[in-house]
Structure 1
């Protein structure tokens, strides 16, 4: 009773609207240290938050002349972050802001969703190294926050797996076309979060396997047809950490913003402090600069790159020119066919092959040239097929990237240079012709190479930390696919497959999540920062021809930069024995946030604890003990000096010596002190500057 009276007195300070107001969903961040001791035990904070909500409701009913909808408590967050999600009016948020312990109310937002050969491309071999029997026998749990899972798929059989780890606290809940009986020793958890109610055919043959294919999977469905609501995502992350996952894999994200207002960043910080490795996709908004998402330094941010496998095609024009492309179409080669493009296919908008743009009389029996943009790649082929076209040449207007898509008719994607040549040819003759040959699966291409769509740095929020962190296979990746969905996702496509070829950083992120699980299984005492350091410092920047990794998002595919691939391409076998690691403590992260001039309340928002920034120490963002360096030179001065410190920990052999090698960028002089590090025991730390 006393509690309710106190809360009512606090609520009386707020002025609420006297009209019925629409409510919106907010994430309410609360200072855990201000919650009464009575509500500190797990699960009990809900009563405290309900009392807070009730105080707003009671005051509303007493003071308002017209009815105001009562607040709705959706989720309570106790593990990764502290607070709750609720549907509230702006006035009700204002009332809540007077409550002792209130930190912030962040409006809910919708985030977007950003294998057979890749293990071999990454150097993993059955029975050897990281894939030996002993390493694969451990019980590492990977929590996947995405669109759900098709449990009947062959990829999720539990043959040969031991019993579910006794430390697992999760559950298998009923869902759409899913029952608890669908769980097994592989899929050990399945939950769905939706209280906000946001309204391949003979190719790539092989044995499909994950990076740590014996890892347990816990699935948290947070993404639906319109995207992934932040409130649902936070509830899933909070539950996953409480359930006992070792790794969180999130192939999603939103726009970059300060960490204290980025709910995914704050929840990831809480997960990391609980020993959970968090892997996130960098985004698919490249090749423009400063498009990278999920840039918090405690998150592993993953870019996407090519492997040496492709699904090749050859296009031959009537004038003898030939061009290479990509396609998942598995039928026979086309004969020489007439070409239709633009005005010869139906008019100006016909060049994009959007609905209603193609003239059936003009395109029937022809190869139609379609430009990227306006609609989906396979949707263009569907329009060509509906109009009676015999095939499609899908051309880029920028870049040389080739997507292998499951087209519903003979079709191939081509780069911008091929597109220019084809259009010149079409405009130079009255009867242009072409043919397509489908080569199927080919290997040995130059790789890795950066995908053009992969989002790029530098971070606009924290440029002192290079983002993304690493790159991993993300283009034309074979992935398990629900048989009720067609491979093209087109309504007219009635094909059913168990595997599909998919591209995106949503494919590269799970690769790194699996590698983190693999490293965790052999280095059980490593922190998330240690695993991240090992993956970054062992990454490589040369391709299989010993040339710098190319960038398909750059003109003429010139060499990629760290703002495309971070530290380089992941190298799991080397990461298992990095020699040295850059560890990062919670205090290190807090000092880093202090260097960004965060206020005390902003610090609490991120860390869920009170922390006083040191007064007698000069803090700079570049001193965070991160495995990579980003030095920002501002202004026009010719002589600028920056000094950063790093702390390295010996995880190799007890007595070891390391010598520094430096490659200086043009116009920059680098001095490392000391130049030689000598360790006498495992776990020893030394400082460099």
Structure 2
């Protein structure tokens, strides 16, 4: 073992012993006090005074300043005002009642939401950049800074090469805090690398692999390179998806903030990462993680670190892009649904990795895999259900059915194709490793009913494939009808130009947002299925694995992969339109999105049903159009504060959030009047009129409204013509929706509104739920 590895191991063992002793009676809490009164140019003395005030505040409850200093492990002194401390429940409760405290949140764990895509979005064609590509307008995102809050970075990846790049922008205040000690070298491309693990060390020390920003999981490297990686030719995963790996903004600078460890991200560490990224000078913050489930209600807003950290980032002009979550296809599962973030759903691209199962009765089934091994095409192999080969100690919890390692009887599976069930918290590739270690010849990974038609390609260690639920039902019927079921699995191949693409990934979380139904979430869809991007090369000194393969690039799926696509597009817009606010950039992306697939038909779910705005938001991202949208719906920080007033937050609350610069109006407007690019009425009673405002960001022109009312809804727009004489001019309009009594009770229905001058088409989804 190396000296570095030995040091880390000893440090973790000591922490594990000491931290668990404390953990029995204390937990991590974040005490949130609002925003700081001083601006971004605060002095060192200002930050020191803020830290001292945190010690004094906690001392007033604990009774001892030294105890307060010992308890606080993060003092947020830049844009967020507050601190994180290790407290018992009684002290935390008393702190929550303190008049200076906005809220106290107990630390919780957030979860990671785990080449062809840019071509598919029309930014290039057959490897050639198109004349109207946003890449050209934005100079490939030159000097925009993308911060990635995730699991760190593998800096040696070619995606982070700084060859030919200019000096780092002088406005950058960040650093590579661990570059010397732990070998995470920064350069003119990767300009920042920091880690935050104090909360995780206290909450779950076994999850922390060391005091470093180096990515040992791969998730952070994959997402960061998708958002801002360089062009890397001849990239592939074991020969699949071969081509040039590209990030969305390849000339942007990137910075990694490691706040996630072993797939989890602790509250106080996440807030520390947000605060550092904003202070360091990031233009875009990409966040591919979130809660497992939506917040209980809007009153929980400031008990969730992404919601809180992103609000402070937005106030400072930093755009925040988040993943929608992987709990689809069920409705009301979308997370990261605050109106000041751009929430991204996952869609497919027109590339598949199909292979074929041939059964003993000559029937064929289509599967999906990244494994090219051949099971000898002229031979059939016996097929067995994993559940029929369970070892005695693995019958509980479906361990054998799910192909857990060490749970298959080698005497029963040797030389056979084993049918494993998807799920059970066992990684799909690990299931194949379990089959291989037991002597199996191949594996069929069968979807359960809840998985439906959602299949993913994986780099298995043996001939293997994944099949849909309907195919699985047919397979089980064949096996039950035959005394000696047989099968073969063909090698997989790369298939391009797949029709009815994009479609919505089944795993992608759906709206409406139960927390905030007045705002349509997700906002936008982007490629998130089988995405090739950079990956870690880390090998744990204690790793025991049957899979010794390593590839610089990996294929992954999830809204985690969709999020950085949009982060890259936002970085391009920041380069091309630096005067735009985060809300204006989101508006441009949403109002120029597409809702049709590559056959001209409406976008569909993976099961073939027509998708709705609850799946894709405004549609699938179309970056080239976003750089010239014509008109935008803009939102200021004060608009967000007013929206919070409408939700029930008080002037006292908002004064703290705005550092004393905002007070709620006497009569806040309806929440539906937030100037969002989408229009949602979650509880229509008879008739409602909503207000919107458009700003011209192009040439002078006359825009006319057209619309398709949701089914059973009468819809009017007033005025129907907006005349803009110059750039920057703003015009207001009203949208009135009225329910048709004979068509009530249909739940949510969907329509659209389009403003056009004949060149630009500014589209907004319209979503209404008529109650009476």
Same fold per TM (> 0.5)? yes
Matches within 5 A, 1:109-258: 109-114=108-113, 116-125=115-124, 126=129, 128=131, 129-132=133-136, 135-136=139-140, 138-174=142-178, 178-179=182-183, 182-196=185-199, 197=201, 198-199=204-205, 200-225=237-262, 227-254=264-291, 255-257=293-295, 258=298
Q: 1:98 offset after TM fit, Å?
A: 6.3
Query: 524, 527, 530: which is aligned to 2:581?
Result: 527
Report if the CA contact (8 A) 1:234-1:263 is conserved: yes
Query: 42, 51, 54: which is aligned to 2:56?
Result: 51
Larger deviation: 568-577 or 41-50? 41-50
Q: Render the CA deviation track for 1:162-196: whole Å, top value 9, x for unaligned.
A: 1100111111111697436x100100011111112
Matches within 5 A, 1:616-631: 617=667, 619-631=669-681
Q: Render the CA deviation track for 1:417-472: whole Å, top value 9, x for unaligned.
A: 11011111111111211111123211111211111111111111110101000010
Q: Does 1:338 pair with 2:338? A: no
Matches within 5 A, 1:669-684: 669-684=714-729
SS in 2 for 1:279: strand
Corresponding residue for residue 441 of structure 2: 390
Report if the CA contact (8 A) 1:393-1:412 is conserved: yes
Q: 1:621 offset after TM fit, Å?
A: 0.9
Query: 707, 731, 740: which is aligned to 1:686?
Result: 731
Matches within 5 A, 1:559-570: 559-570=610-621
Matches within 5 A, 1:548-563: 548-552=602-606, 556-563=607-614
Corresponding residue for residue 421 of structure 2: 371
Q: Does 1:646 pair with 2:692? A: yes
Whole-Å Cα distance in 1 between the matches of residues 696 and 109 of structure 2? 42
Whole-Å Cα distance in 2 between the matches of residues 452 and 31 of structure 1? 38
Q: 1:376 offset after TM fit, Å?
A: 2.3
Corresponding residue for residue 629 of structure 2: 578
SS in 2 for 1:204: strand
Report if the CA contact (8 A) 2:371-2:464 is conserved: yes
Q: 1:657 offset after TM fit, Å?
A: 1.3
Larger deviation: 341-350 or 383-392? 341-350
SS in 2 for 1:458: coil
Q: Render the CA deviation track for 1:63-115: whole Å, top value 9, x for unaligned.
A: xxxxx89752111223342111111223333554565522221111111111x
Whole-Å Cα distance in 2 between the matches of residues 569 and 154 of structure 1? 29
Corresponding residue for residue 266 of structure 1: 308
Whole-Å Cα distance in 1 between the matches of residues 531 and 24 of structure 2? 48
CA RMSD of aligned residues (A): 2.5
Report if the CA contact (8 A) 2:455-2:467 is conserved: yes
Q: Render the CA deviation track for 1:635-674: whole Å, top value 9, x for unaligned.
A: xx6xx11110100001121x21111121122111110111
Whole-Å Cα distance in 1 between the matches of residues 581 and 708 of structure 2? 30
Report if the CA contact (8 A) 2:369-2:492 is conserved: no
Q: Does 1:303 pair with 2:345? A: yes
Whole-Å Cα distance in 2 between the matches of residues 267 and 136 of structure 1? 28
Whole-Å Cα distance in 1 between the matches of residues 694 and 729 of structure 2? 8
Q: 1:33 offset after TM fit, Å?
A: 6.8
Report if the CA contact (8 A) 1:53-1:71 is conserved: no
SS in 1 for 2:567: helix
SS in 2 for 1:49: helix
Q: 1:678 offset after TM fit, Å?
A: 1.3
Flag as ranges the 4+ runs of structure 1 deviating above 6 A.
Answer: 37-40
Q: Does 1:76 pair with 2:78? A: no
Corresponding residue for residue 225 of structure 2: none
Whole-Å Cα distance in 2 between the matches of residues 34 and 581 of structure 1? 31
Q: 1:681 offset after TM fit, Å?
A: 0.6
Corresponding residue for residue 448 of structure 1: 502
Query: 304, 307, 313: which is aligned to 2:355?
Result: 313
Corresponding residue for residue 528 of structure 2: 474
SS in 1 for 2:285: strand
SS in 1 for 2:716: coil
Q: Render the CA deviation track for 1:17-40: whole Å, top value 9, x for unaligned.
A: xx99822211111145789x9998
SS in 1 for 2:29: strand
Q: Render the CA deviation track for 1:296-325: whole Å, top value 9, x for unaligned.
A: 000000011110011111111121221211
- Alignment gaps of 5+ in structure 2: 1-21, 206-236, 735-772
SS in 1 for 2:338: coil
Q: 1:294 offset after TM fit, Å?
A: 0.4
Q: Indicate how the Cα distance of structure 1 residues 43 and 396 shifts in structure 2: closer, same or farther if over 3 A, else same.
A: same
Whole-Å Cα distance in 2 between the matches of residues 190 and 539 of structure 1? 33
Whole-Å Cα distance in 1 between the matches of residues 361 and 24 of structure 2? 68
Whole-Å Cα distance in 2 between the matches of residues 234 and 417 of structure 1? 44
Report if the CA contact (8 A) 1:346-1:362 is conserved: no
Q: Render the CA deviation track for 1:479-529: whole Å, top value 9, x for unaligned.
A: 21112259xx98221111101110111111011000000011000100000
SS in 2 for 1:362: helix
Higher strand residue share: 2
Whole-Å Cα distance in 1 between the matches of residues 574 and 534 of structure 2? 24
Corresponding residue for residue 408 of structure 2: 358
Larger deviation: 331-340 or 604-613? 604-613
Q: 1:57 offset after TM fit, Å?
A: 4.6
Report if the CA contact (8 A) 1:520-1:526 is conserved: yes
Q: 1:41 offset after TM fit, Å?
A: 2.5
SS in 2 for 1:93: helix
Query: 466, 474, 481: which is aligned to 1:428?
Result: 481
Corresponding residue for residue 410 of structure 1: 463
Report if the CA contact (8 A) 1:333-1:435 is conserved: yes
Query: 510, 515, 521: which is aligned to 1:461?
Result: 515
Q: Render the CA deviation track for 1:516-561: whole Å, top value 9, x for unaligned.
A: 0001100010000000000000111100011111112xxx420111
Whole-Å Cα distance in 2 between the matches of residues 632 and 72 of structure 1? 44
Whole-Å Cα distance in 2 between the matches of residues 643 and 43 of structure 1? 50
Whole-Å Cα distance in 1 between the matches of residues 618 and 462 of structure 2? 40
Corresponding residue for residue 11 of structure 1: none
SS in 1 for 2:46: coil
Report if the CA contact (8 A) 2:444-2:465 is conserved: yes
Q: 1:612 offset after TM fit, Å?
A: 2.8
Report if the CA contact (8 A) 1:302-1:468 is conserved: yes
- Alignment gaps of 5+ in structure 1: 1-18, 62-67
SS in 1 for 2:718: coil
Count of aligned pairs: 651
Report if the CA contact (8 A) 1:396-1:415 is conserved: yes
